Amino acid sequence: MKRIGILHILTDIQLQDRFSHEELTEMVIAGGADTIQFRQKHGSTRELIETACHMKALCARAGVTFIVNDRVDIALASDADGVHLGQDDFPITLARRLLGDDKIIGGSAGDLKEAMKCVDEGADYIGFGPVYPTLSKEDAGPATGIKMMKRLLREINIPVIAIGGVNPENVPGIMSSGSHGIAVISAVCCSDDPVQATRILKEALNYGSNTGGYR
């Protein structure tokens, strides 16, 4: 059975350079993340494969889901648990053909039309946002807000992961709206203490789940 986690941490070495992908992986696992997504836009394919393989091994030992952002080839080479694809990335239908039915495929969406496209193409979950304004992604569109996410949740039947401007203060509201979980980049990667930042987000998730969301 595919495990769609509720606390997705995207590792990043562009917004910060203190920690490597592998170091961030170890720290967020210690903090309680159940899904880690390898996100790197630049670098040689060989280097990305090596990093992804190291991250996969760390995640496998901890029982944490490992997802690769954008790169189906890196996901294949590292035997990742899945891949996350944007609207302009590798088509979900072709990714499914290459990865097989047992792998997780997530799709990004910024509105209902894009979300329905992901569903129709066979995505297992949707990363929806940015829910709040964010500086972590240069290509992020305008903030959608909770109201739009609630509308989306009424229309689709696969898990929705909120992303964009997510922090401990707004997590309870996100989860009480019915979101399956959250995904963050800078809230953890740019923190002085990624372990503690992850723990705080997990606590906020637990509180939000108990006030109307679900785990």
Q: How many helices (H) and strands (E) does the chain have?
A: 9, 8
**What CATH number is attached to the domain comprising 40?**
3.20.20.70
Q: Which pLDDT tens digit goes with each residue over 116-172?
A: 999 999 999 999 999 998 766 555 567 888 989 999 999 999 999 999 999 999 999
Catalytic residue among 137, 177, 179, 191: 137
Q: Give the pLDDT band (50/70/90) at residue 206.
A: confident
Q: What is the dihedral of CA 195, 37, 105, 170, to 10 degrees?
A: 50
Q: Is 137 a catalytic residue?
A: yes
From the candidates 39, 56, 103, 202, which is the catalytic residue?
39
Is the four-CA dihedral 188, 191, 195, 197 of positive or negative sign? negative
**Quick one: pLDDT band at residue 1, thresholds 50, 70, 90?**
confident
**Is 121 part of a structural domain of the chain?**
yes
**Nearest residue to 59 (alpha-carbon basis) of 25, 10, 9:** 25
Contacts of 113 (CB under 8 A, 6+ apart): none
Helical H runs in the chain?
Answer: 21-31, 45-62, 72-78, 92-99, 112-121, 145-155, 171-176, 186-189, 194-209
| Residue 188 included in any domain | yes
Is residue 215 a part of any domain in this protein?
no
pLDDT in tens, 32-85: 999 999 999 899 999 999 999 999 999 999 999 999 999 999 999 999 999 999
Per-residue model confidence (pLDDT) at position 214: 37
User: Is position 103 within any domain?
Assistant: yes
Q: In this structure, is residue 125 part of a structural domain?
A: yes
Active-site hit among 78, 108, 177, 191: 108
97 is catalytic: no
Owning domain of residue 201: 7-209
Distances (CA, A) of 203 to 3, 6, 16, 172: 20, 12, 24, 10
Establish if 49 belongs to a structural domain. yes
Q: Does any domain span residue 58? A: yes
pLDDT of 213 over the 80 cut: no
Q: Do the domain assignments include residue 1?
A: no
Q: Is the pTM of this model over 0.95?
A: no
Residue 108 is among the residues annotated as catalytic for this protein:
yes
The DSSP bridge partners found for residue 108 are 127
Tally of domains in the chain: 1
